[in-house]
Amino acid sequence: MSLRAKRGPESVSLLLWDGGRVLLVRRGRGGLFPSTWTLAGRELARGEPPEAAALSAAEELVGVETSHIRLLCSLSQPSPFRDERGPDSLFQVITWEGEPPVSERLRWFTLEELGSIRIFREARDTLRAVCATLPATQTAEVVR
């Protein structure tokens, strides 16, 4: 069996950065890593382009509308504990309409707060590195 055949479906993750905070989603209580904070995202449907999946995930999972995204990087393996997952494309949502419905499941965090919440180490390190390269004036582009 080839390495490609063992790999699971591709997925997309969304980075909403308001210039000082990142939006995270809390995983459910079931599964392998219950109640862990992560980026919103989903698997691609068969034949679905990653860009289309990112746009629909913004609306379906985060509650905002956007047509302004950009690919930040491709993560070949999101977590060493999830070998069945395929590669993940990390998209930044640059501008959006609406306000994410903040709740105990969906919250904004500063980069400093990432060290005190339950989050995968790889995700925390990636977020800190990526957000450090983004402009601190992102909030000016948000359409509310």
Contact 66, 95 (CB under 8 A): yes
Taking the CA atoms of 67, 100, 128 and 25 in sequence, report the sign of the dihedral they define.
Answer: negative
Give the mean model confidence (pLDDT) for residues 97-113: 95
The distance of Cα 138 from the centroid of its chain, to the nearest Å, equals 17
Contact 44, 54 (CB under 8 A): no
DSSP label of 143: B
Range with lowest mean pLDDT among 1-15, 114-128, 130-144: 130-144
What distances in angstroms separate CA 35 from CA 38, 40, 104, 106, 140, one per listed residue? 9, 14, 10, 11, 32
Q: Which residue has the higher pLDDT, 7 or 98?
A: 98
Q: Which residue has the higher pLDDT, 35 or 130?
A: 130
Q: How far is it, in rounded angstroms, from Cα 144 to Cα 142? A: 6
Fold of 3-141: Nucleoside Triphosphate Pyrophosphohydrolase (3.90.79)
Contact 68, 93 (CB under 8 A): yes
Give the mean model confidence (pLDDT) for residues 97-121: 93
Mean pLDDT of the chain: 84
Digit-coded pLDDT (tens) for 32-81: 677 899 999 999 999 999 999 999 999 999 999 999 999 998 876 555 54
Give residue 120's pLDDT: 83
Give residue 43's pLDDT: 92
Domain map (residue ranges) of the chain: 3-141
pTM given for the model: 0.81
